[in-house]
Structures are given as C-alpha cells and as structure tokens.
Amino acid sequence: MAGKATSSNPLVVTGKAPDTSLNVQLHPLVLLTISDYITRHTLRSQPGPIIGAVIGEQSGRNFTLEHAYQCKLAEKPTGDAILDGQWFEERLEMYKEVHKVPALDLVAVFALGPIEGPQEAHLPVLRQVRELTGSDNIMLLLFHPELVDSLQGGKLPISLYESVEELENDQVQVRFRELAFEVETGDAERIGVNFVATGGGNATAVAKPDNASSIAVASASSSKDKKGKGKAKAKEGEEGETNGAAPINFLSPEDDELISTLNSKVNAIKMLGERLDLIRSYLETLPQSYLTDATSTAAPAETTNFQLLRSVQSMLSRLPLLAPPDSAPENTDPGAEPPANLELAAEKERQDVHLTSLLASLTRSVAEAQTLGSKFTILQRERQTKERSQFGRGPPMRGGFNDDLLADNGAL
C-alpha cells in the first residue's frame, strides 16, 4: 500500500507500519468512481477541490468501502472547502434508501492529498461530515496523483486514515493514524471492471464542431423528415468537402472490438517480454555452475534461490508443449514446399469436422436400424400370437356321427 505516514507531518501519528486493528475491505468500484471523478474534473477544468463520500458497511471492527460519489461544495468567504449540507444529507439518504439490504452508511470521505498524509485543509470537511452524520468513525481516503506513474507491483496510489483525538496542552487535537486495507471484489464488480478495461480501448477523440456546422446540422435535422434529412446531410457533406473540411469517419462496433482485442494482446505480449527480460537478467547475474560449464567445480552460492530456479526450469520444460508443431506431414511431396503451420492446423480441423459428421451419421444409422429391428420384433410377435389363437379354436364340426345321432333322437 502506498503513502505511509512520516514523522514530518504533525497531523499523522508516527508508526512503522499501518494499523491493522481494523479489518477494512476496499472494493474496486470505489477506485473506479474516484478515478472517473478526477478525470472529468481535470478535463473540464472545474474549479475547487475534489471531495467525495464513500458508503459501506460497518460491523464492529470490520469495515467495507463499497460505493463512492462526488459531493457538491459550497462557497465560503474564508476560502476553505466545505460541503453543501442540505445537498449532502439528501444525497446520502438517497443512497441509503437504495442500498437497504445490506444496509450501507457513510464510512469515509475521499480527497486528493500528498504522500505525507492529511493536511490542515482536510480538517474542516471532516468536522462538517461528523456534524452532519453524528458519527466519529468517519475515515479519510487520500488519493496521491503523483504516484500514479511511478507505482509498480500492483500497489495503489491511495492511503486510508482513521481520525483519533489526543489531548495536548489541555486542548483536543485531531490526528490521523494510517490503516491497512485489502482489496475485495465480487462477481458483479469483476464484470464492471472488465467492461471498463475493454471500453478504454474503444474511446475515440472527436473534435467539437464549430458554431456554423452545429447550427446547420440542427436546422437540417429539425426542419426535414427522413427523406429531407438525407438530402440535408448529403448537401452538408458536399459543402464540407468543398470547404476543405475532412469528413469524420467513425469506427463500427466490430472494428472497435477488434482494436480492443489487439490492444489487449499487444499489452500482454509487452508484459511477457518484460518478464522474460527480467528472468534473463537475473540468470545472467548468477555465477557459472556445472550445469552450464562442465569444467566448473565451484559450489553454488549460499544466497542462490533454488526455488526460483526450479520455477524457471519448470517454465522452460513446458515451452515445447506450448510451441506449435513445425514439422511437415510424411506424405508431403519432396519437390513441393511444405505447408505452413496454419495450413496444417486448418487441414486437421477440417478432418476433425468430417470425422465428427461421419460419426454422427453412423450413430443415426445405428439408431434407425435398432428402431426398425424393434418394430419388426413387435410385428412378428403379433403375427405369431394371432396364428396360435386361430389354431387353438379350430373349424366348426359338420356331419359325421354326432349329426346322425341327433337326427335319430329327433325322429324318436
């Protein structure tokens, strides 16, 4: 974490490391909101300092910083930055109404600040927020713009402070103690961060049109129907070309997505190259060993990191598995040029598709044959049952001994 407190700042309680008595979890949406607020404030050249509020959940010594929003400032004759009290209370109630389950409340205030820690200019805002909310557990989150370009290794240019009151010369002095925090994220926040990361590559700078062109576009779009709009736009395009203004070409969504994908791959390749250069430079600093020089009898140094060397060896052993095959097939014509790796991969994919289609056809044929066999078995069983029933009943008896006997009895 960046921005550790130093003894040169009288408002910061000196300490070797940030306090870990509080369990503070910082969510990425807070960082995205703060960075977006700073960007818009800078590009629009807005006056006044950057001050905002952070809402989260408090449970004993556990705090979460989940959402942030910018605050409206009010003018003060002394020049100190103060908040618009009525606007602040209304906006806070709106956020608390939206985030009811779980119930969120104001837990921190964010602002810009130096690495040394909070300054005197941060105290009026903090006191005002305490009076408006009636809570003394409001933390101060400082963003350090000067550390944005110099931080590496996943560190963040922010510091989190807890306000404490100390009695000095019979007066209560407000001081700050730096707190340790950890970044916590959820599935929804991962989706939002991924959307922001991919949308950054789609940003396009568009020059603002002059007054004449904007008035022409407005009049053309409001006075004509669809057909008239098309004619007005065509006429406007012709006038723009005749005046020497180059037409603005906007990229399609497919082109934006392609550019974003290529930028992500380029950044990944750059990072991979930097990591490989770092590993190479580390290996070059190591002394010669019997693995690289058979005549060397020197023992490895005591400071040798064998775990790191085993990780490098494991990575090198996996490289052949990741490299694409560059060998030509055996049935290649000796006089012809061997096909490229892309052609070999395409041919293999084509064969796999044909084999899958053939297997599906064979499975379907087997299923149809099985169904036909079942139907034939049922019909055969019905036919045998019918023949058996007819054979058991037999034809009716006519003439013979029984008829003569019946005739004699009747005569009698």
Over residues 362-371, the pLDDT tens digits come to: 999 999 999 9
Which pLDDT belongs to residue 326? 56
pLDDT over threshold 60, residue 63: yes
Nearest one of 202, 212, 323 to 259, comparing CA atoms: 202
pLDDT over threshold 50, residue 3: no
State pLDDT tens for residues 339-350: 567 788 888 889
The DSSP secondary-structure symbol of 178 reads E
pLDDT over threshold 70, residue 44: yes
pLDDT over threshold 90, residue 187: no
Instruction: Quote the mean pLDDT of the chain.
Output: 76
The answer to whether 121 and 104 are in contact (CB under 8 A) is no
Q: Is the pTM of this model over 0.95?
A: no
Taking residue 283's Cβ as centre, other Cβ atoms within 10 Å add up to: 12
Q: Among 212-221, 250-259, 291-300, 337-346, where is mean pLDDT lowest? A: 212-221
Which pLDDT belongs to residue 242? 46
The answer to whether 61 and 180 are in contact (CB under 8 A) is no
How many angstroms separate the CA atoms of 158 and 119, rounded? Answer: 15
Nearest one of 335, 291, 343, 298 to 313, comparing CA atoms: 291
- Compute the average pLDDT of residues 1-13: 60
Q: Is 183 helix (H, G, I), strand (E, B) or coil?
A: strand
* Sign of torsion over alpha carbons 240, 243, 248, 249: positive
pLDDT over threshold 60, residue 327: no
Residue type, 372: L
How many angstroms separate the CA atoms of 178 and 142, rounded? Answer: 11
How many angstroms separate the CA atoms of 104 and 220, rounded? Answer: 50
Fold of 19-199: Cytidine Deaminase; domain 2 (3.40.140)
Residues in Cβ contact with 207 at an 8 Å cutoff, skipping those fewer than 6 apart: 248
State pLDDT tens for residues 89-135: 999 999 999 988 888 999 999 999 888 889 888 888 898 999 998 88
Which pLDDT belongs to residue 185? 81
Which pLDDT belongs to residue 404? 52
pLDDT over threshold 90, residue 225: no
The answer to whether 106 and 138 are in contact (CB under 8 A) is yes
- Strands 19-26 and 62-70 turn out to be parallel
Taking residue 285's Cβ as centre, other Cβ atoms within 10 Å add up to: 7
Instruction: Calculate what percentage of the chain has a pLDDT beyond 90.
Output: 21
Which pLDDT belongs to residue 378? 92
How many angstroms separate the CA atoms of 309 and 305, rounded? Answer: 6
pLDDT band for 81, please (50, 70, 90 cuts): confident
pLDDT over threshold 80, residue 278: yes
Which pLDDT belongs to residue 244? 52
pLDDT band for 56, please (50, 70, 90 cuts): very high
Phi, psi for 18 (deg, rounded to 5) = -60, 150
Kindly list the domain boundaries of the chain, sorted by start residue.
19-199, 347-386
Instruction: Calculate what percentage of the chain has a pLDDT beyond 70.
Output: 70
- What are the strands, taking DSSP E only, across 123-259? 139-143, 158-168, 171-183
The DSSP secondary-structure symbol of 162 reads E
pLDDT over threshold 50, residue 223: no
What's the count of helices (H) and strands (E) in the chain, helices before strands?
10, 9
The answer to whether 206 and 248 are in contact (CB under 8 A) is yes
- Compute the average pLDDT of residues 214-229: 42
- Compute the average pLDDT of residues 282-296: 73
How many angstroms separate the CA atoms of 368 and 362, rounded? Answer: 10
Which pLDDT belongs to residue 217? 38
How many angstroms separate the CA atoms of 66 and 185, rounded? Answer: 9
Which pLDDT belongs to residue 294? 67
Q: For residue 277, give both structure tokens.
A: 């250069």
How many angstroms separate the CA atoms of 122 and 411, rounded? Answer: 139
